[in-house]
Amino acid sequence: MANTQPARFSFSILDGLGTRASMNVPAMIDPAMTVTQAVAAWAANATALDAMIDGQIIGGGVEIVHAAIGKGAPTSASRVEQTGVFDFRNATTTHVFGVAVPSLADAVISGGTILLTEDGVVDVWLDILEAAITGGGVYTNAAQQAITALADAFLSFRKRRKQLSRSSRELGPD
């Protein structure tokens, strides 16, 4: 067994007061491990963890961790609070499921709206989300209902105060 694939096991824990906490454990796993084997490894870890905590494990999972891809660095004008929100329909309910995309590029915005031009960069990404996942599966909403089509898209400016305070600095008097 070659444990060469970085991964992360996560656990969501609920206490007697209704407070939730999360726990993440980095790992190296065999890249040939099946989904069933990964879930079994998570369950074994959860069972052992459950014996040593008073809280309730209410969820978690196994995440495959990948190195960053794409740009070598963010563009100087990028801002994470410039968010594109894409609402998707599903075949089961009338509710929509929103996917928030932080740091939406100025190049895909025109007149304050997101450009949904056919075969444009946003449309290509939307087509991927609305299709079957390569290798099996579909993208879903939080209730695991397959998303079927884009309902609407809009631009939002979300404040991320903790992150903004870390990336800001106060200038003192000269």
Q: Would strands 56-64 and 82-90 be described as parallel, antiparallel, or unpaired?
A: unpaired
Of 149-153, 163-167, 169-173, which has the strongest mean pLDDT? Answer: 149-153
Please state the domain extents for the chain. Answer: 5-64, 82-163
Q: What is the pLDDT of residues 87-141, one digit of tens each?
A: 999 989 999 999 999 999 999 999 999 999 999 999 999 999 998 888 788 899 9
Sequence-separated (6 or more) residues with CB below 8 Å from residue 22: 10, 11, 12, 13
- How sure is the predictor about 160, in pLDDT bands with cuts at 50, 70 and 90? low
* 112 closest CA partner among 153, 70, 66: 153
Q: What is the pLDDT of residues 38-49, one digit of tens each?
A: 999 999 999 999
How high is the pLDDT of residue 67?
83
Beta strands in the chain (DSSP E): 5-14, 20-29, 56-64, 82-90, 97-101, 109-110, 113-114, 147-157
167 and 103 Cβ atoms separated by less than 8 Å:
no
Structure tokens at 98: 């929103």
